[in-house]
Structure 1
Amino acid sequence: MEMIKLTVTITCSLILQASNMEMLLQLVLGLLLLAANYASAIAIPSPQCQKQCGNVEIPYPFGIGVNCSLSVDFNISCQVQEGISKPFKGDFEVLDISLSDSTMRVLNYIVTYCYNATSNDMEVGGKYRKFDARDTPYRFSDVHNKFTVIGCNTLAYIFDSDNDTVLQSGCVSTCGKLSVADGSFSGMGYCQTVIPRGMDYYSADFDIGFNTSQISSFSRCSYAVLMEAAAFNFSTLYVNTTKFNDTYAGRAPMVFNWAIRNETSCEVAKRNKTASYACLSGNSECVDSTNGAGYVCTCSKGYQGNPYLPDGCQDYNECKDSSSCPSGSICHNTEGGYQCSCPAGRKFSDQNKTCNPDTGLIIGVTVGFVVLLISSFFGYVIIQKRKLNKVKQEHFRQHGGLLLFEKMKSERGLSFTVFTEAELMQATNNYDKSRIIGRGGHGTVYKGIVKDNMSIAIKRCSLIDERQKKEFGQEMLILSQINHKNIVKLVGCCLEVEVPMLVYEFIPNGTLFDLIHGKNQALQISFSTLLRIAHEAAEGLHFLHSYASPPIIHGDVKSANILLDHNYMAKVSDFGASILAPSDKEQYVTMVQGTCGYLDPEYMQTCQLTEKSDVYSFGVILLEVLTGQEPLKLDGPEKQRSLSSNFLSAMKENNLDVVLPTHMKGQESNELIRGLAELAKQCLDMFGINRPSMKEVADELGRLRKISLHPWVRLEAETETQSLLSGTSTGRFDIECATTRYPTQEGENLPMNPRSSYYAR
């Protein structure tokens, strides 16, 4: 077209310069001849050309009729067979023509090789054994086709030369004694092999050394054909009958690759830009053929149609495809493409094809808001921090922190630390559950590690009332001044929280309860050691009652609140239920608290907690040491649930052995057992006025320990001669050797318990 325009322009210029009519006629005649030659070269099909034959569409450059195809090589004949129109290329029926793939599917003829029983010879049959596509636009597709052979004793070849001397490929198909199954592997009943690229001629033939003359159980025929691999599906009928040849009526689908072969490549065709250049559409592209020399045409991206026709490639509306734009966006079709737009505040991303937030817009809109928000936030944080500091200061004042500081200043030797909440949170890893070492009615106890790797026990108390808050500072002063080897030392506290937290020294070896009943029961502790631990606990309680000022009533004495340090020395702990000995009688009235099995009956009736209440609870501990039983058995008979009741009944009936364990009978001296039982009986008296003081209890335990260390010593006060024990037996407790001094925690050879335990009851 550009050549015609140029010619017309030059011709018109010459016409203007022509001096006579003769020259004008010559120029017009030359122009008409040039236009005719160009039209002949590009062979634009007439609108009247037939575009379909039967059910097969015939797209240009193919055509039916004169001047309806690009060249004679693309001519298709439409024939009527048995009343049905069918397209043919030569003798081959056309099944389909594809412009996008540049392929043509046809029916290729099957070559047969059968045994003739009459002549006793193998005979080759089939319409064509050879096919010559040289000097045409067609090449056998190496991608879609395979040389396929069917038979039970067959060797077939495929040649690419007309003299049958150049062997390209071949394969053997046998059946042997194996049964042939549908879809079996190649070589058993059939075989397939690939062909080379660029093949434009082939000849099929069979090896005469292989024949079916001796085969009786299978078909006497073998078959060979170059066919479309995807159309082949092996069946056992193919080797048992003539089913393979009958299925395709002697023909099988085959695929051609076609191209414009008058130029070797797109580069040459574009460079020459001859009148026969086939890509006529303005929106088409030239692509080199993938099978042999030449090129094919395709519509540019965003266009569809026939690239071999002028204006054949039209814009494709990509918006019809739901996958063009992401969900929620709007698709806009453009010439040769499309655009996606997103709602306000979002921007289309070409990279990942999504509607992402429009960061530029968002930043521009929100930067002022963010600055305002940050300013407001910092202002709020400052205000809240001031409020928090005021709250912490108020808590500190309510809990007696000011009084505590004044006392610490006046007594410079006071070893006491006031911890901040942040320090304790860091020490316990923000109160991690794995740090819990005890739970109870008064709070939870955590193990913590503070500076210098010192282990501490932090008790987070439960809520306390206003009266207790007022007395808390005074109690801290008293507890901080207690320095006794048998009392867990209070090393500090935290007062800037709503409920104060206490910080004690960490005691690693569990409790007396564990040693007698629980997880440490298997340590084989001697009875004299248990007696020593009870004596040390009594000394600690005696110190609280007698030497603290004012005296301190523990209020929850039990074996679980007697801790054992690394040398198994007793440490009285857990003052959550403790009170100061009141000076005002009205202060005796309080809510009953403590642990079932240890509670003083008098305290439960009067709600008056006294030093003798601690003595009663300690008497229950003596029973645990003596009998090895727990204070309360909820799973036993109702009359036998209380250890103290059972013991007092046995003492009243002068039958102590019913509550003693088997290993105790006869293992310890009668005087020691009788003395400890009598002491426990006095502590468990129903009337507090009849009970001994903790000092008297501690002194009596000291004297009883001498009995365990010096068996020949007799209690001077004991006048009874009848033994309270009957029978003798051996047990697991070992009597300690007598010495001339009291055993100390360093002198006792006790197993160490690697597990820490700390109880808050």
Structure 2
Amino acid sequence: MVSFLDHVRKIQSSRKRRKEETPSKLFLQNGSLLLEKLIAASNGKYDVPIQSFTAKELMGATNNFVDNFHTGRFSNICRGSWQDRPILVKKFIGYTVVVPSDTVYDTLSGVVNDIATSAQMSHHKNVAKLLGCCLEFNHPALVYEYSGDEHLLDALLNSNSNRLLSWKSRLKIAADIANVVLYLHTAFHTPIIYRILNPRNIIVDKYDVAKIFDFSFSISLPPGKMQIHDDVIGITGYFDYDYCISGLVSQKTDVFCFGVFLLVLLTGQGALCTDQEGDQIHIVEYVKDCISRNEMNEIVDGRISEREEIVLNPQQLSVFIDLALRCSQDWGKDRPNMIDVAKELLEIRRQW
């Protein structure tokens, strides 16, 4: 295992000396694109080390990818062990996303974006730590540090999960994710919009520290601009109405997704849930309907109310729900900024 940049330099040097010893075409193709993206993403000052794994190393580390951790639409994540160190390996499945403008987003562009952004964010405590990548597959693989984390989607929505997330834990997870989204918006030379925030892209460790992953569809705003026109990409139930109508991606796009995410944390239901009549309804409308009928208890995940040793503070719940609904307003101008959301969550945790 060697540094990705050292590997690329070695290959380039080898090509100049002896053309007959050219390395894998896949590595050259994928590596060149990744290097270009890394330099562009870091404003020409890229210095974050990425380890380069071979396909043989990862197949051995995961026993041919048999220990599945999570199956997603575009990738599978498997558990493994590398040099007695537990790891997670995300191996992409070939996919093509065609949007209304007929723009095609393929696996390679997505994974290159994922690796480049993950590398820049990997030091953040609320981001899955990227150890390295392998570019020798048709669709590159990412290697993460693993410390017994559980997929948040399973913890929230899987009735067979043995893990109960207390109300205190859920507030902590909300604050963790707010902080990492705020970091994306403020820590770089231009804001990065995550765009697909939802529980599928979050893992939680045994200390209830939430870690986000999958930056495949993240997008950077142009210098000096507050928004960028792009094709509508998102997760069902998390689509920002304003973004869908205008095609404009902004920081408020993430705020909307975060508002829906807060309600999912609170209710233990998906973004598209079931009302009392058994009909499918968006979670924002479900919560508003419960409020209009003065049935606040119907909003809170029953597993919290059944097992919590203390009674949830009604005022805290009210403030939390109000924040979530303000974040998920139809129009971006009516939503708070992410920095204010993070501050409000901090106060919610402190005051009660």
User: Is 1:489 equivalent to 2:121 in the alignment?
Assistant: no
Question: Could you report, residue by residue, the CA deviation over 1:379-406 in whole angstroms, capped at 9, with x for unpaired residues?
Answer: xxxxxx96763453233223336966xx
1:119 paired residue number: none
CA contact (8 A) 2:114 2:216 kept: no
CA contact (8 A) 1:622 1:680 kept: yes
**Post-superposition offset of 1:646:** 1.7
Match for residue 458 of structure 1 among 84, 90, 93: 90
Separation in 2, partners of 1:572, 1:426: 26
2:248 paired residue number: 608
Separation in 1, partners of 2:348, 2:216: 31
User: Is 1:423 equivalent to 2:64 in the alignment?
Assistant: no
Question: Could you report, residue by residue, the CA deviation over 1:34-83 in whole angstroms, capped at 9, with x for unpaired residues?
Answer: xxxxxxxxxxxxxxxxxxxxxxxxxxxxxxxxxxxxxxxxxxxxxxxxxx
Paired residue type of 1:490: L
Paired residue type of 1:423: E
Change in 2 beyond 3 A, CA 1:498/1:511: closer
1:686 paired residue number: 330
**Post-superposition offset of 1:619:** 1.1
Match for residue 394 of structure 1 among 29, 43, 47: 29
CA contact (8 A) 1:490 1:505 kept: yes
Match for residue 191 of structure 2 among 540, 551, 556: 551
Separation in 2, partners of 1:569, 1:397: 35
CA contact (8 A) 1:457 1:506 kept: no
Question: Could you report, residue by residue, the CA deviation over 1:273-323 in whole angstroms, capped at 9, with x for unpaired residues?
Answer: xxxxxxxxxxxxxxxxxxxxxxxxxxxxxxxxxxxxxxxxxxxxxxxxxxx
Which structure carries more helix by proportion? Answer: 2
Separation in 1, partners of 2:345, 2:227: 35
Segments of 5+ residues of structure 1 without an aligned counterpart are 1-384, 709-761
2:15 paired residue number: none
Separation in 1, partners of 2:46, 2:272: 45
Separation in 1, partners of 2:171, 2:237: 21
Question: Could you report, residue by residue, the CA deviation over 1:118-176 in whole angstroms, capped at 9, with x for unpaired residues?
Answer: xxxxxxxxxxxxxxxxxxxxxxxxxxxxxxxxxxxxxxxxxxxxxxxxxxxxxxxxxxx
2:74 paired residue number: 442
2:257 paired residue number: 617
Change in 2 beyond 3 A, CA 1:503/1:531: same
Separation in 1, partners of 2:323, 2:233: 25
1:646 paired residue number: 286
Change in 2 beyond 3 A, CA 1:492/1:551: farther
**Post-superposition offset of 1:501:** 2.2
Change in 2 beyond 3 A, CA 1:573/1:477: closer
Change in 2 beyond 3 A, CA 1:636/1:509: farther
Q: TM-score, normalised by structure 2?
A: 0.76
**Post-superposition offset of 1:554:** 1.6
> Match of 1:633, SS?
strand
Separation in 2, partners of 1:524, 1:588: 41
2:230 paired residue number: 589
Question: Could you report, residue by residue, the CA deviation over 1:243-267 in whole angstroms, capped at 9, with x for unpaired residues?
Answer: xxxxxxxxxxxxxxxxxxxxxxxxx
**Post-superposition offset of 1:609:** 3.0
CA contact (8 A) 1:562 1:571 kept: yes
Paired residue type of 1:682: R
Paired residue type of 1:588: H
Change in 2 beyond 3 A, CA 1:429/1:560: same
Question: Could you report, residue by residue, the CA deviation over 1:569-610 in whole angstroms, capped at 9, with x for unpaired residues?
Answer: 1111222332223458996222x3332222222223333333
Question: Could you report, residue by residue, the CA deviation over 1:176-197 in whole angstroms, capped at 9, with x for unpaired residues?
Answer: xxxxxxxxxxxxxxxxxxxxxx
Same amino acid, percent of matched pairs: 28
May I ask how many residue pairs the two structures share in their alignment?
317
**Post-superposition offset of 1:439:** 1.8
Separation in 1, partners of 2:287, 2:113: 40
Separation in 1, partners of 2:340, 2:45: 35
Segments of 5+ residues of structure 2 without an aligned counterpart are 1-19, 97-103
- Name the structure, 1 or 2, with higher relative contact order (CA <8 Å, separation 6+): 2
CA contact (8 A) 1:478 1:549 kept: no
Structure with the greater alpha carbon radius of gyration = 1
> Match of 1:400, SS?
helix
**Post-superposition offset of 1:467:** 8.5
User: Is 1:565 equivalent to 2:208 in the alignment?
Assistant: no
> Match of 1:486, SS?
coil
> Match of 1:574, SS?
coil
Separation in 2, partners of 1:391, 1:513: 33
Q: TM-score, normalised by structure 1?
A: 0.37
Root mean square deviation of aligned Cα: 3.5
Change in 2 beyond 3 A, CA 1:467/1:557: closer
1:629 paired residue number: 269
Change in 2 beyond 3 A, CA 1:619/1:426: same
2:6 paired residue number: none
Paired residue type of 1:436: N
Change in 2 beyond 3 A, CA 1:635/1:392: same
User: Is 1:674 equivalent to 2:314 in the alignment?
Assistant: no
CA contact (8 A) 2:126 2:209 kept: yes
Question: Could you report, residue by residue, the CA deviation over 1:467-520 in whole angstroms, capped at 9, with x for unpaired residues?
Answer: 885686576444312211111122212234443322222252313332233256
Change in 2 beyond 3 A, CA 1:411/1:576: closer
1:526 paired residue number: 166
Change in 2 beyond 3 A, CA 1:549/1:518: farther
